[in-house]
């Protein structure tokens, strides 16, 4: 949760600086959000693609690479604990 607060604080500070300098933000908010969504999806193309090339079904490839959890915003630390649980299940 700290990461989100720091991110929000940094954005707030930049917004105040932009206003004081009479500068408009570099991108309209909707375009910026769509760009961020593209970045999130783009980060997952390679791991999911590798799974697909190895013969894994699409849904399973997304689950194995944690793509869906990453794109839809899992809180920090949860992905690490999910990976730990998955590795413990493999050992059993």
Determine the pLDDT at residue 43: 84
Buried b (16+ CB within 10 A) or exposed e, 21-41: eeeeeeeeeeeeeeeeeeeee
Q: Say if CB 73 and CB 60 are below 8 A apart.
A: no
63/48 Cα distance (integer angstroms): 9
User: pLDDT tens track of the chain, all 92 residues?
Assistant: 788 888 888 888 888 888 888 887 776 778 778 887 888 888 888 888 888 899 989 888 878 777 777 666 655 665 556 666 666 666 66
The structural domains of the chain, with segments of one domain joined by +, span: 2-91
Determine the pLDDT at residue 7: 84
């Amino acid at each position: 949760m700290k990461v989100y607060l720091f991110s929000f604080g940094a954005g707030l500070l930049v917004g105040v600086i932009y206003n004081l300098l009479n500068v408009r933000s570099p991108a309209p908010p909707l375009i910026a959000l769509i760009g961020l969504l593209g970045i999130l999806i783009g980060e997952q193309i390679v791991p999911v693609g590798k799974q697909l090339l190895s013969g894994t079904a699409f849904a399973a490839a997304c689950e194995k690479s944690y793509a869906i959890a990453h794109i839809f915003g899992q809180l920090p630390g949860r992905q690490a604990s999910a990976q730990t649980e998955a590795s413990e299940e493999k050992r059993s």
